[in-house]
């Protein structure tokens, strides 16, 4: 500022700054407005993560409903492993995830709710001694190598497989891996003579060199969980949650199961 006979006036530098600060302040106001909308759950997009192969049974119908009822909302959908979903939720990169039992680890930080219990299938190399059977029991798999899940991508998978093998097969499993994705799992089965317990929603997959059969042990089940951020949910997110929990396919609880 500089003093003049008529009072105090900005210097040339001050006048230049004032011209530029208008845009800065407008940007600041916009950022604060966006932040308030996020805190109130009033965003114009919903970012959704899902497990590989689970989208067709659990997500496609609800997505159609939300797009029809909230056409102004952008639904961003991404395939992430359970471990990747945990990271993305904590980083604020997604609003909701459809995941497995690992979602229970987030119960203290996010809302969690069970979507379904699903039964199990077993994936075997196509030349395996049991490949021609109608179904397989865990006790038939004593001595086999089970595909190990990478702890960062599939947290808790090995521990759950070990629990099931000890309880229902009466043996402690051996592991081979770890696999970092479902595709990698199937590669280990086809090329390394490993086996893999799969949730029922993945049983329609047909990877080369692999046979997928029902697991006869009906007690071997997997949870599908929905995990979403705490705080006020926007209208589109609420609609998605309602659609998920009211439109779950009756087949979601199959494999409690046939036989």
pLDDT of residue 252: 43
Task: Using alpha carbons, select from 175, 166, 160, 178 the residue that is nearest to residue 222.
Answer: 160
Give 231's contacts (C-beta < 8 A, 6+ positions apart): 39, 41
pLDDT of residue 135: 95
To the nearest whole percent, how much of the chain has pLDDT over 70? Answer: 79
Fold type of domain 45-117+222-253: D-Maltodextrin-Binding Protein; domain 2 (3.40.190)
Cβ pair 103, 225 in contact under 8 A: yes
Beta strand 145-149 pairing with 174-179: parallel
24-74 per-position pLDDT tens digit: 554 455 456 455 555 554 558 999 999 877 777 889 999 999 999 999 999
Secondary structure (3-state) at 144? coil
258 pLDDT band, cuts 50/70/90, is very low
pLDDT of residue 227: 96
Superfamily for domain range 120-214: Periplasmic binding protein-like II (3.40.190.10)
pLDDT of residue 218: 94
DSSP output for 78-113: EE--HHHHHHHHHTTS-SEEEE-GGGGGGTTTSEEE
Q: Angle 131-134-140 (CA atoms, 0-180°, nearest 5)?
A: 65
pTM confidence score = 0.74
Confirm whether 45-117+222-253 and 120-214 share one CATH topology. yes
What are the boundaries of each domain within the chain?
Answer: 2-39, 45-117+222-253, 120-214
212-253 per-position pLDDT tens digit: 999 999 999 999 999 999 888 889 999 999 999 986 544 444
């Amino acid at each position: 500022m500089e003093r003049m006979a008529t009072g105090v006036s900005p210097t040339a530098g001050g006048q230049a700054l004032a011209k530029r600060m208008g845009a800065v302040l407008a940007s600041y106001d916009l950022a604060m407005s966006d932040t308030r909308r996020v805190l109130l759950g009033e965003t114009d997009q919903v970012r959704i993560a899902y497990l590989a192969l689970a989208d067709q049974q659990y997500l496609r119908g609800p997505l159609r409903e939300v797009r029809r009822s909230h056409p102004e909302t952008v639904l961003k959908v991404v395939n992430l492993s359970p471990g990747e979903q945990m990271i993305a939720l904590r980083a604020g990169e997604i609003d909701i995830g459809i995941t497995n039992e690992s979602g229970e680890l987030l119960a203290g930080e996010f809302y969690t709710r069970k979507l379904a219990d699903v039964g199990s299938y077993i994936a075997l190399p196509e030349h395996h001694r049991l490949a021609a059977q109608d179904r397989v029991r865990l006790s038939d798999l004593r001595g086999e190598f089970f595909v190990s899940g990478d702890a960062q991508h599939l947290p808790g998978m090995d521990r759950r497989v070990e629990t099931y093998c000890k309880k229902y097969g009466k043996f402690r499993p051996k592991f081979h891996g770890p696999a970092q994705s479902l595709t990698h799992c199937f590669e280990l089965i086809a090329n390394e003579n490993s086996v893999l317990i799969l949730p029922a929603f993945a049983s329609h997959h047909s990877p080369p060199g692999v046979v997928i059969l029902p697991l006869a042990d009906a007690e071997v089940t997997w949870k599908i969980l929905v995990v979403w951020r705490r705080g006020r949910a926007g209208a589109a997110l609420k609609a998605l949650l309602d659609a998920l929990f009211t439109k779950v396919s009756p087949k979601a609880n199959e494999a409690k199961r046939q036989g």
